Structure 1
C-alpha cells in the first residue's frame, strides 16, 4: 500500500526491529528491562487535526496512554484524567462525571471529542475502547467550534490490527464489583485489506455507600464495540465503527455539607431513595475515510451519529438550608425520559509542501453538528422524610403519560484553515482562523476566531513557544427577553475567551522523557450582568454583557522513562481563578478550583516478570459554593500496585493487584454543598489478563 496511513505505520513498526537487529545486534542483546517507552506518546492528532509532534505544537497537550489506564485498573474517565493536575473533578451525581480544565467546566455538549468528532458525554465513557486520552489545553474553537476556554478532552479509540489478537481480562474489587473484558482483533482476509477490532465488557458494580433502608447502591453496565478497516485501494482507507452502551445504576446525588464544610450524617448515607435509578442506552455509529491524492496531499472525511436515551426515576431529595442530621427534608419525585441525537460531520484537506523555501503543513476543513433533544416528564406527589422512617414506596408514575414533549434543536457549521510553517530548522509559525455559524430559533449566532503560535527550537529535542488563541460559547438567546429590563431587546453576542500562553518542551535521556511547562492567562468575557435600578418607573433592572472571568497559572509535567526500569507520569499546576466582573460572585473563585494540584504515577520494573507502581494525587483547598463561604480541605491520596507476568505455553498471563488510598485518607472530592462526592477509603482491585 503506497499511501495508506495504516500501511506506513505497520511498515515502520515491522521494519524498525529488523533494521535494529541487522545493524545494531550488540545493542539489542544488551538491552535490559523495557526496550520501549509505553508511558510517552510523541504526538496528539486532536491538537492540530494533523499528524504533528508535540514538539511542533504551540500548545500544552497531555496524552495519557492505555498502559497507565491498565496499570491503574481504571474503570471511569475520571480515574484516567486524575493523571493530569490541570484537570479537577466536579460532581459525580446521577452516574456521570463532571470535570474542570484550567478551572473552566467542560460541557457535556462541547467539551469532549472522540477521534476528533464532537461527542455528547452526558454519561460515563466506555474507556475500555480507548488507546489513549488527549488533554488539549486552552481555547480550541478554531478547529472544533463552540467550546469552553479551558480546553478539550479527545478520546482516541483502539484501531483494528493485522495480527490476530485475543485478550481476556477480569477484575474484582473489595466491594465485590466485577468486570469482564474481551478484546479481539485481526485480519479478515488473506491480503489483510480487511481488519477488525472488537471489545465486549460486562461490569457489575457494588458501591461502598448505602441507602437509608440498608441497601447497597449498584450498577450494571454492558458495552459492545466494533471497528472495521477496509483498504479499498493502495491509497484509500475506509473505517466503520459501532458501539452500544447499556448502563443502569441506582442514583446517588451526593452528600450534604453544613456551613462549616462538614458532612451531615454518616459518610455512607445516600439521601436518595433506593428505588431511584438512571437507565442509559447510547449508540454511536459512523465512518471515516482517508484518501491520499498524492504522497503530500490527503483528504479525510468523517461522520458519526449518536443516539442517547435515558430514563431517570428520581426521588429528588432537597436539603433545607438549616438541615441537621435527624431533621426532615422534602423529596420531589418524578419520572423523566431524555432523548439526545447528536450528528457530526467533518471534511479535512491536508497538504505538506514547500513554498518560498519554507515547509508548510496546511489544513483546510469544515465540520458541523446537528443537535436534537426531547424530554418527557411526569411528577409524583412530594413527600417528607427523615432518618429512621420506613422508606416510602416508589410512586406509581410513568413518563409515558406525559402528553407534551419539550424539544430543543440547533445546528452549526464552521470553516477553518491552519498552516504550520517551518521557516528554518529553528523557527516555526502556526496560524489560522475559523468562521462559525449557529442556527437556532431565537439564538442564531456567528463568530470568527483566530489563532497564532510561534515556536523556536534551540536544539532538535527542545521547543520554546508562545501562542494566542480564542474560543466562544453562544448565548441561549440572541436577544435579551426581559421586558422589565432597560436593555430589553439588546442583541447578545457569544461569550468569548482569549488565552496567551508561553511554554517549553524538552526531551531528555535520548528522547525518552518529555518535560513540559506552560504559563497561561485566560480571560472570559461577555457573561450577562444584571443590576437593579432605583427610582425608575419604567424598568426594574439593567443588564449588560460585561461579565468577566480571569484564570492564570502555570503547569509543569514530566512523562516517560528515567531509565530502562523507571517510568513516570507527573504533573503539577498552580491556578489563580477569579470572577472579576460578576453581579453575584465578583472577586470569588469558582467551585472545585484549587490553587495547587499535583499528580504522580510511576512504574519500577524489578525484573522482566515483576513491576511495582506507586502514585500520589494531591488537591489543595477548594470552595464548595460560589459564595466561597464553605471550604473543602486539601488532601493527598496514595495508591500502590504491582504486576506479575508469566507464560503458560504460548499464552501470556498478567496478574495485577492495586490498593487505592493506601493510608485511608479522609477527603471530599468534587461537588458542592448539596452534591459533594466523599472520597472512598482504602480499597483494592485484583485483575488477571490472558493474551492468546
Structure 2
C-alpha cells in the first residue's frame, strides 16, 4: 500500500574499539596448540570423522570423543577435574581432535599402540615465542552468540539445537552484527535488504515505525527474540521494534516453522539473537551524525566481574534523534539493555536481561497514489517525494517497550541438557495521524486527482506477551546411528488492548500544494477491542545421523484458545483450536562441503469468526516442499545456499456470494520460486554477499474470479542484490575499508487486479571505514565510518497506493487469531 522515494542518507560515525590483550593471547594459544594448518586439518583423509561436541567439562568431552572415534582413553577423573574443553565441530583425525579438545589444558593425548591413548602433562608453551597462526574454517562458533565477519556457520533457529547450517534441511539466512554495522542499517528492515526472498510488505522504504516484512510472499513474517514470540497486531501500533545495535545476529528461517514455534505464517520467521554477557571483554562507544540533522550515540560494554569468572555482565545503550526524509517527520529513541550471567558451576548458566526503550516520532507511513507518482497527475504534475499527507500540528507517535528475559541451562551430563527461556514483552503505543482514503470529487462528480480525502486516526494499543519454552536435549547412539533428540513444551499468552478513534473522509488535502491550517473533524471512538490468545504446544524432534546422511523428523501438537471482546459492540467470541504440524528433511553430506537436501514442513494459523451457518473457521494450514543444496568449502569462511520451493496455504476465507456479509473457507494461495545466497570471505580482505530470488505468489482458489491467478503485490517476483567489502592490506591507505552494494527490484504489479506495474529499479549503497590507528599508534582502536544509502539519490517508486477509488469508511486494522 505504500510508496516513497528514498534519499541519499550519509551516516558518518566515529567508532571507538579497544581489544583486550587477553583476547589476542588466547587466540594465539588456541591457534598454535595445533601443529597442522587449518587447511590440512580440513582435508578429506580417510581417517577423518565428523564431530559435533559442544564445549563443556573436559572429562565429559573426552569421553564423548573417544566413544565417537572408537578409541580407548583410560584416565582418572582427577586428571581432568576443574578443566573445560572448547568442544569440537567438524571433520578431524583422532590426533587432530585430541589436540583441539585439549588445547590450553596443559594435557596431551599420546598414542600407546592400537586404538589406545593416554593422557600426559604437556609443557606449557611460551606464548611470547610462539608465532601467530590464523585458523580458518574451524573456529568454534556458538549458534546463539557472536559471529566474526559476515559468514555464520551454525544456527539454533532451525532446530532449537546448536547445529551447523549445512545440516538444517530448510533455507536459513543469517545477517551478522558485523554485516549490520558494515552497511549502517538502523532498523531490522534495512538489515534484511540484502537477504533473498524478503521484502518490506508493501510499505515505503522510508517507513521507520515498525519492521513488517514479507518472506516468500507471505506476510507478516512473525518475529522472535531469542526464540520467543514478539507481539504483532497489524499496520500501525502494537508491534515491538527491536534496536539492531542490540543484536548479535538476525536469522530468517524460510518456510513453515510451526513444528518448533507454533502458529505462524508459512513464509517463515525472523529470529533475532541479542547480545549477551561474554568472557571476552567488550568496549565500544559510537558517536555519529547523519542526514536531516540526525545525531546518534551507542555504547556496548561487558566482560567478567569476579575472579572465578562466574559472573559476567553486558550493557548496551543507544540514543538518537533527528528529522527524516518526508517533510515534518522526525524520530527519537532512548534504549538501554543491561544483562547478567551467573555460572555457579561448569554445568549451569543463568542469564537475566532487561530492555527498556522509548520512541517518539512524527511519521507519515503511507504510499502515494499511483496517479501523481507512477502516472502523471493533472497538468502532468508529479507529487513531491517529500510530500507529507498528515498535519504537523496533529501527527504524533510514541512507544514504550519493555522486555524482561531469563535463560537457564543445565547440563546433566555430556549427552543430556535442559534449557528454559522465559520472556515478558510489554508494548504500549499511540499513533495519531491521517491516511489518504479516496480522491475528492470535482466538477460534475468526477474525481479530482489533485486532492485526496483523508481518514483522521488516533489509535492506542497496549500489547503484552508472556512466553515460556522448556526443552530437553539428549544426544545418544543406537548402533551406527547418532541421535540428537529434542523434547519440549512451550506456552504463549498474547494480550491485546486496542482503542481506535477515527474520523472518516475529513477535509481533503491538496496533493501538490498542501495546506495544514484547514480544520478537520476530531476522531471518535469506533473500535474497542480486548483480545487474548493462549497457546500450549508439545514438540518432539530427532536429528538422526548415519554416516553422511542426516534425517530430521519433528512433530508438534498445539492447543490455542482465543477470547475476543468487542467492548464497543459489547460482544464476546471464544474459540478453541488444535493442530498437529510436522517436518521431515533429509540432508546428505556429500563431501567437499556439498550438502544437498529435501524437506517437507507444515504451519497453521487460527482464524477468528464463523460462516453463515455459525460454524467456526478452521485454522489456515501451510505446506512446503523444498529442495536445495548448501556448499561450505572446507577451510574457508564461505557458505552458499540454493533452494527451490513450493508453498500452499489453504483454508483462507473468501467471499460467500450466496450469503452477503459472510465468508467461506475456500481460498488458497500458492508461492513457487527459488533463492540463491552466497556469503564469503575471499583472500582474507574481501567480503562478498550475493543474492537472487524468484517468488511467483498467486491466488489459486477464490470465490472472487477477479483475483484468481493474479500475482500478489506485497513482494516483487524477482529481486537481486550484491555487496562487496574490500580492506586495503597495505600502502598509503592501509586500514581503509571500502564497501559498495547494489539492490535491484524487478517490476511488479501495483494492484491486486494486476492492471498496472511499477517499474524495476536499482539502488546503490556505499560505506567507508578507516582505522585511525594506521595514522597514530596512540589512536589504535578508533575508527571513522561513513554509510550512504541510495548513493546516487535515485528517484524510484517502491510501492503505490492504488486504492483511492472509493469513499467507503474503513478501519485498516487486522485482527489476529
TM-score normalised according to structure 2 size: 0.74
1:493 and 2:605 correspond: no
**1:455-508 deviation per Cα after TM superposition (whole angstroms, max 9, x unaligned):** 11111522110000011111113x32x4xxxxx223421100100111111122
d(CA) in 1 for partners of 2:291, 2:559:
51
> Paired residue for 2:718, among 596, 600, 603?
596
Shift of 1:432: 1.1
Whether the aligned pair in 1 keeps the contact of 2:440 and 2:453 (CA below 8 Å) is no
User: In the superposition, relative to structure 1, how do residues 8 and 547 fare at CA in structure 2: closer, same or farther (>3 Å)?
Assistant: farther
In structure 2, C-alpha distance between the alignment counterparts of 1:38 and 1:600, rounded to whole Å = 16
2:735 corresponds to 1:609: yes
Give the drift of 1:204. 0.7
Q: Deviations over 1:421-472 (max 9, x none)?
A: 0011x21111010001001133211000111001111115221100000111
- The aligned residue for residue 407 of structure 1 is 530
Change (3 A) 1:318 1:550: same
Change (3 A) 1:448 1:97: same
**How far 1:568 moved relative to its partner?**
0.8
Q: Are residues 1:273 and 2:378 paired?
A: no
Alignment RMSD (CA, Å)? 3.2
Q: Who is 1:681 aligned against?
A: none
Cα distance 1:500–1:383, how it changes in 2: closer, same or farther (>3 A)?
Answer: closer
Matches within 5 A, 1:444-523: 444-459=576-591, 461-477=593-609, 479-480=610-611, 482=612, 488-508=613-633, 510-523=635-648
> Is 2:655 aligned against 1:530?
yes
**Cα drift, residue 29 of structure 1:** 8.4
Distance 2:520 2:428 in 1: 22
Alpha-carbon separation, structure 1, partners of 2:697 and 2:504: 42
SS at match of 1:50: coil
Provide the rounded CA distance (Å) in 1 between the counterparts of 2:125 and 2:716.
48
- Asked whether the equivalents of residues 506 and 521 of structure 2 are also in contact (C-alpha less than 8 Å), the reply is no
Identify which of 148, 165, 170 aligns with 2:282.
165
Tell me by how many angstroms 1:27 deviates: 7.4
Map 1:11-410 → 2, pairs under 5 A: 15=103, 28=133, 38-90=149-201, 91-92=203-204, 95-107=209-221, 111-120=222-231, 122-210=239-327, 216-258=328-370, 261-262=374-375, 265-274=383-392, 275-320=394-439, 327-379=450-502, 383-387=506-510, 388=513, 390-392=515-517, 406-410=529-533
Instruction: Write the deviation string for residues 604-639 of structure 1: whole angstroms up to 9, x where unpaired.
Output: 111251111111111101223222223211111111
1:579: which partner in 2? 699
Q: Give the alignment partner of residue 661 of structure 1, picking from 771, 780, 790.
A: 790
1:13 is displaced (CA, Å) by 12
Taking a change above 3 Å as real, the CA distance of residues 22 and 168 of structure 1, as seen in their structure-2 partners, is closer
Partner residue in 2 for 1:686 = none
8 Å CA contact 1:98–1:106 kept in 2: the answer is yes
| Distance (whole Å) between structure 1 residues aligned to residue 559 and residue 650 of structure 2 | 20
Measure, in 2, the Cα distance between the counterparts of 1:591 and 1:196: 46
Alignment partners' CA distance in 2, 1:394 and 1:168: 47
Deviations 1:226-269 (A, max 9, x none): 11111122211001010011111112032322358337521110
Q: Give deviations 1:319-347, integer Å, cap 9, x for gaps.
A: 32779887443333343321101111100
Assess, with a 3 A threshold, how the Cα gap between structure 1 residues 642 and 9 changes in structure 2: closer, same or farther: farther
Shift of 1:562: 2.2
Shift of the 454–318 alpha-carbon distance from structure 1 to 2, 3 Å rule, reads same
The 3 A distance-change label for structure 1 pair 403 and 508 is closer
Quote how far apart the aligned CAs of 1:43 are. Answer: 0.9
Q: Distance in 2 between matches of 1:218 and 1:104?
A: 30
Pairwise mapping of residues 563-574 of structure 1 onto structure 2 (< 5 A)? 563-574=683-694
Shift of 1:654: 0.9
Q: Which moved more, 1:645-654 or 1:604-613?
A: 645-654
Rounded Cα–Cα distance in structure 2 between residues aligned with 1:268 and 1:594: 24
Classify 1:531/1:614 alpha carbon distance in 2 versus 1 (closer, same or farther; 3 Å): same
Instruction: Give 1:403 shift.
Output: 12
**Superposed displacement of residue 575, structure 1:** 1.5
Matched, 1:644 2:770: yes
CA contact (8 A) 1:20 1:28 kept: no
1:622 to 734, 744, 748: 748
Mapped to 2, the partners of 1:279 and 1:567 lie a distance apart of: 38
Residues 284, 528 of structure 1: alpha-carbon distance in 2 compared, 3 angstrom cutoff? same
Q: What residue in structure 2 maps to residue 485 of structure 1?
A: none
Deviations 1:525-555 (A, max 9, x none): 111233423xxxxx55885422111111111
Cα deviation, residue 362, structure 1 = 0.5
Q: Deviations over 1:75-102 (max 9, x none)?
A: 0111100121210122155722321101
Deviations 1:259-289 (A, max 9, x none): 5833752111011111211110010002010
CA separation in 1, counterparts of 2:800 and 2:126? 54
- Aligned CA distance change for structure 1 residues 548 and 313 (closer, same or farther; 3 Å): same
Separation of aligned partners in 2, 1:16 and 1:544: 66
Q: 1:530 & 1:379 partners in 2: Cα distance?
A: 26
CA gap 1:489/1:664 in 2 versus in 1, 3 angstroms = same
Aligned residue number for residue 536 of structure 1: none
Larger radius of gyration between Structure 1 and Structure 2 = 2
Q: Deviations over 1:560-602 (max 9, x none)?
A: 2122121111111111111111233111111132221111111
Check the 8 A contact 1:254/1:674 in 2, yes or no: no
The Cα shift of 1:30 comes to 12
Alignment-derived partner of residue 31 in structure 2: none
Q: Distance in 2 between the 1:20 and 1:85 partners?
A: 47
Q: Which residue of 2 aligns with 1:437?
A: 559
CA contact (8 A) 1:94 1:278 kept: no
Distance in 2 (alpha carbons) for counterparts of 1:569 and 1:453: 27
Deviations 1:621-660 (A, max 9, x none): 1223222223211111111222111235375101112232
Q: Distance in 1 between matches of 2:148 and 2:303?
A: 24
Structure 2: segments with no counterpart, 5+ residues: 1-55, 62-82, 89-99, 107-123, 140-146, 233-238, 377-381, 564-573, 805-817
How far is 1:379 from its partner? 4.7
Cα contact 1:95–1:123 (8 A) shared by 2: no
Whole-angstrom distance in 2 between the partners of 1:598 and 1:364: 39
CA distance in 2, matches of 1:30, 1:112: 35
Q: Provide the secondary structure at the position in 1 that maps to 2:719.
A: strand
Equivalent in the alignment of 2:57: 2
* Counterparts of 1:61 and 1:394, CA distance in 2: 51
Q: Which runs of 5+ in 1 are unaligned?
A: 211-215, 483-487, 534-538, 676-692
For the residues of structure 1 that align with 2:751 and 2:628, how far apart are their CA atoms? 32
DSSP 3-state at the match of 1:247? strand
Cα distance change, pair 294–277 in 1 and its aligned pair in 2 (3 A)? same
Q: TM-score, normalised by structure 1?
A: 0.87
The alignment partner of 2:211 has SS state of coil
Distance 1:379 1:459, change over 3 A: closer
Cα pair 1:78 1:97 within 8 Å, conserved: yes
